[in-house]
A = this chain, B = another copy of it.
């Protein structure tokens, strides 16, 4: 949680409602020819109007220069130190496909790879085999039995899968078998501390069985495992903030992250309109709602400036519906920037606006990177967003006498 030891003392339950809309990959960078970013180029009358009566600023997801993955980007917005509460790759991949993990399970991210007759890796991604083929292989692997440890294989996309080990005394302190290079053999899983011996041994047995199952194939004849991890022990968000928080997200990974933080995950559909329907239907049941909007990030990752503009404009059309619900505090934030000119997550500060009855406007005309830089919130660590939201909603009592 945010590094403020008195947080539980000052949080107070009230009737006021907070909506935190996370626009994935919100921030961008100027297009080389127009010198204007996606947000500056897009036609966003509703977001701009809201910015004109909000407090605006920029968030730093982790540290200047540090580009966050989806995990750290969201954890920070929920108020958790993204470094202290780093969620492992295996766990994130598992919750990203909706796999339920138990406390003691160890999840790893797997790749099918191709090895030659000497066992040396010739293709770490097995030619990016199709999901269908991959799913069949996963079904074969699922039949493997290793004494004492149950293993579940779940297909992800293309050559990727998730392995979940279930058993007693498992440890996440196991080294990766993926050497991250070709022309060498896969690594044995080695225990990284004394308590991981049995887990490493089980992993090696699973891998050895998998090699036998896949033997004789031209490609995708071996597996590589990385990111062994267990569910982290996170402070409960509702308990910490004295709220009843709920998450409404069309994508499983964000539902999974919210659940790790102790939010109630409300089932919803696959679109942002579905999320808004769900929000309306559950308006009375919670005092905090996290909503997630994915398309801006997806377009940014594709390096498609126009598509990112379109994704932002689609969001803009839905803003009146969101505003009309009358949240006491409406926060629009991003987990990180995904500039189309980079085509990937970036470290750049992310626009933020907070609307409440206390905000009357501060000379900001539009919701974008340059305008938000001049807002009254200034540049804050993303971990401070929850505190700001709660303050605007009257949910934080005075600190100290």
Contact = CB atoms under 8 A, between A and B. Distances in A.
Contacts of A4: 62-63, 66, 83
Interface string A58-91: 1000111111111110000000001100111100
9 contacts: A64-B384, A65-B389, A65-B392, A65-B396, A88-B401, A346-B391, A373-B378, A378-B379, A379-B379
A332 to B, nearest CB: 16
Contact of A65 (B66, B82, B87, B391): B391
Nearest to A30: B360
A374 to B, nearest CB: 7
Contact of A399 (B69, B360, B361): B69
A37 B70 CA distance: 39
Given A71-B401, A88-B401, 9 more contacts: A10-B66, A65-B387, A67-B391, A68-B400, A87-B400, A342-B358, A362-B370, A363-B370, A369-B376
Nearest to A358: B29
* Number of identical protomers: 2
Interface residues of A, number: 66
Contacts of A178: none
Interface in A363-389: 363, 369-370, 373-374, 376-380, 384, 386-389
Given A376-B370, A378-B373, A399 B30 contact: no
A327 to B, nearest CB: 17
Contacts of A65: 384, 386-392, 396
Contacts of A216: none
Contacts of A5: 83
Nearest to A336: B398
A236 B57 CA distance: 36
A32 to B, nearest CB: 7
A181 to B, nearest CB: 14
A401 B370 contact: no
Nearest to A93: B401
A156 to B, nearest CB: 13
Which 7 A-B pairs give the minimum distances between C-beta atoms? A65-B387, A65-B391, A89-B401, A64-B384, A69-B400, A72-B400, A378-B379
